Amino acid sequence: MTEKATFAAGCFWGVEDVFMSLPGVVATRVGYTGGRTDNPTYRDVCGHGTGHAEAVEVTFDPAVISYQALLKTFWECHDPTQLNRQGPDIGDQYRSAIFFHSAGQQRMAEESMQKLDESGRLRRRIVTEIVPAVTFWEAEAYHQKYHAKNGGGCGF
């Protein structure tokens, strides 16, 4: 039995790369979530009028990898203190967010964020949103597994 987790941590190409390499992750897909428009396109989302975040939906086997391990990877793969940006990518579509699929995921996400925020490891406060998962709109085909198909990497 698999479960889903959804994360936004900047450009979805690099974030997908990180998660799809984890043992226990059985599938990933990139797309748009957290906005107000149905069936948004990349152009729509980049226009800053839809409110969507670039996100990665992770399907995982909890018998192999825990949601806590996915959260650890999420916190480590980007800077959760940057508001509406990651590195050179600027805009609300690049915001840091956890879209939880259950009350258990919400609790674990909130606890992990509080623990990291209180750890003193970060110079600024975490700005990551923790919000309920809503409709996930799959991105265009050329965005799926982009780095695996085209090479490249993100500088996080």
CATH number at residue 133: 3.30.1060.10
Condensed to tens digits (0 to 9), the pLDDT of residues 111-141 reads: 999 999 999 999 999 999 999 999 999 999 9
Residue 156 falls inside a structural domain: no
Which domain does 107 fall in, by range?
Answer: 3-150
The residues assigned a catalytic role are 11
* pLDDT > 70: percent of the chain: 97
Residue 113 falls inside a structural domain: yes
Give the global pTM. 0.94
Residue 24 falls inside a structural domain: yes
* Calpha distance 111→84 (Å, rounded): 22
Domain count, the chain: 1
